[in-house]
Structure 1
Amino acid sequence: TAALTAGLDRIPDQLGYLVISEDGVLASAGELENDEHTASVIMQMVRTANRFRLSGSADHFRSPGSEDVPFKRMSVLEDFVLAVTVSGQKVFVVKRQHAHP
C-alpha cells in the first residue's frame, strides 16, 4: 500500500484519504479511515460522472490516455473539501480543510 499512498500524507491541510477501486477500499487514513460509506458514495459519483458527455467538450475532460473517463478530478465542498482524482483503475480521495473566503 505504500506505493498507493505515496505523497498523500504530505498534502497540506489533509484530514484523511481513501484509495478506492471497483473492488473496494485499497487504503485509507485519518478521518476517512475504513469509511466504506464515503467510498461507496464517491464511487457512485464517479460512475455517474462517467456517463455524462458534454456536447462538443467531452474530449476536454478526458484523462490523458483514457477513453473511458471523461474527467480527471472533481471536488466536493462543504466545511471541508473532498478532492477526487481518477488515475488508471483507482480513485484517490483526499479530505482537506476548506479555506473559507
Structure 2
Amino acid sequence: MASALTQGLERIPDQLGYLVISEDGVLASAGELENDEHAAGVIMRMVQTAVKLCMNGSAEPFLKRMSVVFGEHTYMATISGQKVFVVKRHNNPQEAVEV
C-alpha cells in the first residue's frame, strides 16, 4: 500500500524527503523526513489552520497546495482526499537579473 501512496514522489527533482500524512498520523515517509513525526504534526497543524482560514463558509475547501520556503529548502504540501503529501525540496537559487 505504501508504494501506491508514494508513487512518483521519489522522482520529484531536488527532493530531500517526503511524508504522506493523514489524521491518523504518518502513512509513509522517506529521506530526511523519514519517521519525522514532529515535522508531520507541525505541517498537519499548519494545513488544518490554512484550510479553516480558507473555508469562509464554503462546504468545499479551495486550498489544494501550500509551500513553506526557507533559505535552502522548501516544504511543499498537497492535499488530496484525506491525505497530505509533503515533499522537502532543495531550493535552487536563481541568479539575479541585472537591469
1:95 alignment partner in structure 2: 88
- Alignment equivalent of 2:78, drawn from 77, 80, 85: 85
Alpha-carbon distance in 1 for matches of 2:73, 2:81: 26
Cα offset for 1:54?
7.8
Residue deviations 1:18-53 (CA, integer Å, cap 9, x gap): 000000000000000000000000010011001113
Is 2:70 the counterpart of 1:70?
no
Alpha-carbon distance in 2 for matches of 1:22, 1:8: 20
Q: Give 3-state SS (helix, strand or coil) of 2:75's partner.
A: strand
Query: How many residue pairs end up in the alignment?
Result: 92
Runs of 5+ consecutive residues of structure 2 not aligned to the other structure: 95-99
Runs of 5+ consecutive residues of structure 1 not aligned to the other structure: 60-65
Alpha-carbon distance in 2 for matches of 1:51, 1:12: 31
TM-score by length of 1: 0.84
Alpha-carbon distance in 2 for matches of 1:39, 1:54: 22
Higher CA-based Rg: 2
Q: Give 3-state SS (helix, strand or coil) of 1:53's partner.
A: helix
* Contact 2:79 2:85 survives alignment (8 Å): yes
Q: Give 3-state SS (helix, strand or coil) of 1:52's partner.
A: helix
TM-score by length of 2: 0.86
Query: Which runs of 4 or more aligned residues in structure 1 lie more than 4 Å from their structure 2 counterparts after TM superposition?
Result: none
Q: Give 3-state SS (helix, strand or coil) of 1:4's partner.
A: helix
Cα offset for 1:70?
2.8
Q: CA RMSD in A?
A: 1.9
